[in-house]
Amino acid sequence: MSTLAIRHRSVFAIPFILGLSLLTGCGGDNTYSPTVSGSGGGTPPNIGISIQSPNPAQCVVLANLQYGATVTGTSDTKVDWSIVSANGGSISSNGVYTAPSIPGTYIIKAAADADKSVYATATATVVAAPVITITIQSPNPAQCVTGGTLQYSSTITGGSDGSYAVWSVVTSNGGSITQEGSYTAPAKPGIYTIKAAVAGDTSVYATATATVVVGTGSLGGTIQ
């Protein structure tokens, strides 16, 4: 009887033990790590960026150009601006480019703040500043009596369309001149120096003379 009882219990014990072995053996550390296909959080956004260059994208040395950029595919539209070319000037966070002192063609880069690997480039052409000159057209003859007047004019080349001359009399007590170039002689005879400088850059100027003589009946008070 005892032998049969033991055998009876063994028959039911073996499948139970095998079941435990199968459960503990298939997981190793008893963890479950399912494999998931796809991105998990949806497809990453397709971020793009483009640069809007000024027209023309050219300026003189040390001048400024305004660039713009458009970021798409993300709510973060901030742009990281930089200059790719060595010694190519500088650019602000708002896309304001400042040219260097050396002429050339320089590369500007705009990267999407959301993904710095997404970027666009543009160029800035920097040219030498034009040489500005000024000349004075004097009356002929450049002579008047004391207290008389003379009309001078000037020509500026290489400047902007709005360039104009700033007039002055260099010689002390040498009379006066208006900003239209109308000179009024002093009461004392002599030769006086008149100056016309370019407004905005008074280091560029020209000079002329006015000869003032004692008034006589033969000389008119005004010579143009």
Give the C-alpha distances (Å, rounded to integers) separating 33 from 36, 67, 168.
9, 51, 90
Asked if 140 and 121 sit in the same domain, the reply is no
Per the domain annotation, does 11 fall within a domain?
no
CB atoms within 10 A of CB 88: 21
Q: Which DSSP string do the residues of 167-200 spell out, in sequence order? A: EEE-STT--EE-TT-EEE--SS-EEEEEEEEETT
Per-residue pLDDT of the chain (224 residues; tens, 9 = 90+): 434 443 444 444 444 443 434 333 434 333 222 322 233 344 457 999 999 999 999 999 999 999 999 999 999 999 999 999 999 999 999 999 999 999 999 999 999 999 999 999 999 999 998 899 999 999 999 999 999 999 999 999 988 778 899 999 999 999 999 999 999 999 999 999 999 999 988 999 999 999 999 976 444 444 44
**Which of 107, 127, 147 is at the close of a domain?**
127
Q: 68 lies in which domain range?
A: 48-127
Please report, for the domain that includes residue 56, its CATH number: 2.60.40.1080
Count the Cβ atoms, other than its own, within 10 Å of residue 64: 13
